[in-house]
Amino acid sequence: MLKLFRSKIIIAFTLILCVILMGTLGYRYISEYSWIDAIYMTVITISTVGFMEVRPLGAEAKIFTVILIACSVFILGYALSVISEYLLSKNTLQLLKKNKVKTKIQQLEGHVIICGFGRNGMQAADRLKAYKRDFIVIEKDEEIINKHEDDILFIEGDATEDNILHKAGVDKASFLIVALPEDADNLFVVLSVRQLNPNIFIISRASQPGTQKKLFLAGANKVIMPDKIGGDHMASLVVLPDLITFMDKLSVEGENTTNLEEVAIEDFAGQIDAHTLRDLDLRRKTGCTIIGYIDPNGDYIINPEADLPLQPQGKVIVLGRPEQINKLNNMFHIN
């Protein structure tokens, strides 16, 4: 809708310029005014300020002036109406958008909050969209919000302020991703959110190694250092290029390209009587291979034995081609 109004405004200003050009050329060649006098006469005529003409007008010039006034009145009236409508509609649309965002947030529960929409925040948002997870982004840069607001749910404001966090539904959220550019701001947000929601899982970005420990003490569950990860990855490509390239091809991007999946043991309950990994028999049923197991205490077992007993709060990590992962999800109705 705003694009439509902008096109109308362009048309209105084009018509005004055409009237000015028509008046200037008319007075120049009908009354033989100089270019300066012709522009002057055109401006005072279409603006109806009532100044006296440069010199008395002849009959042809008077008829031309009447036509110019009539045209300018309609065109200026149209321009004013378009601009007024645009300003009113823009304010109305902004109000409607804020109300729509507020309504959506009130309906969310167990969602993800992303603080900051820089490079890391944007990548996190893209991944969450691929997995169709509900999330909200807190960003204070209005230009960034206007650029992406059609695809992403934004809260405009400073993530270090408690009232902004409350607007994002921090008390009902399950995860928080803190991706602000400054470590001090990330530390402050982690500390604040941990007080507002003791049960939320917090993942924070850090730039300096010394900040990592402080973020854990403030309440972060996981701390990611993008620069360190990037450097390690590049060095690994030198030492183990084929292995790292293979790992890069293990995608967890979205439901149609996933090669790895994390499945809770509860997802198999009522559908299969399984006490061990062997009982699941996922390789024969779906083609997927179990490459890891996470016990209820959070301990990871890589390449577990087939006779490993399954526990209710445990999880399995499976590897497969996208069609095999989809078959697994469909067979056991895994969301």
- The C-alpha angle 267, 269, 273, rounded to 5 degrees, equals 130
In this prediction, residue 94 carries a pLDDT of 64
What span, in angstroms and rounded, lies between the C-alpha atoms of 190 and 212? 12
Domain CATH code at residue 170: 3.40.50.720
* Residue ending a domain, choose from 74, 103, 132: 103
User: Is 119 inside a domain boundary?
Assistant: yes
114 shares its domain with 226: yes
Residues 315-329 pLDDT 10s: 999 998 888 888 888
Residue 241 is assigned to a structural domain of this protein: no
Q: Cα–Cα distance between 46 and 23 in angstroms, integer?
A: 9
249 part of a folded domain? no
Per the structure, the complete domain to which residue 317 belongs is given by: 260-331
How many domains in the chain? 3
CATH of the domain at 281: 3.30.70.1450
- Supply the pLDDT for residue 260: 83
Same domain, 12 and 88: yes
> Is 248 part of a structural domain of the chain?
no
Residue 251 has pLDDT above 70, yes or no: no
pLDDT tens-place string over residues 259-298: 888 888 888 877 878 888 898 889 999 999 999 999 988 8
Q: Do 225 and 270 have their domain in common?
A: no
d(CA 18, CA 46): 12
The mean pLDDT value for 173-202 works out to: 95
Distances in Å between the alpha carbon of 41 and those of 21, 37, 60, 79? 12, 6, 15, 21
- For residue 172, pLDDT beyond 60: yes
Question: What's 27's domain CATH number?
Answer: 1.10.287.70
Rg (CA), the chain: 32
Amino acid at the residue 3: K
pLDDT confidence of residue 291: 92
Task: For residues 114 and 209, state if they share a domain.
Answer: yes
Say if 225 falls within a structural domain: yes
pLDDT band at 205 (very low <50, low <70, confident <90, very high): very high
Q: DSSP class of residue 256?
A: T
Q: What pLDDT, on the 0 to 100 scale, is given for residue 254?
A: 53
What's the pLDDT band for 186 if we cut at 50, 70, 90? very high
Residue 77, in any domain of the structure: yes
| pLDDT tens track for 6-44 | 677 788 788 888 888 888 888 888 888 888 888 888 888
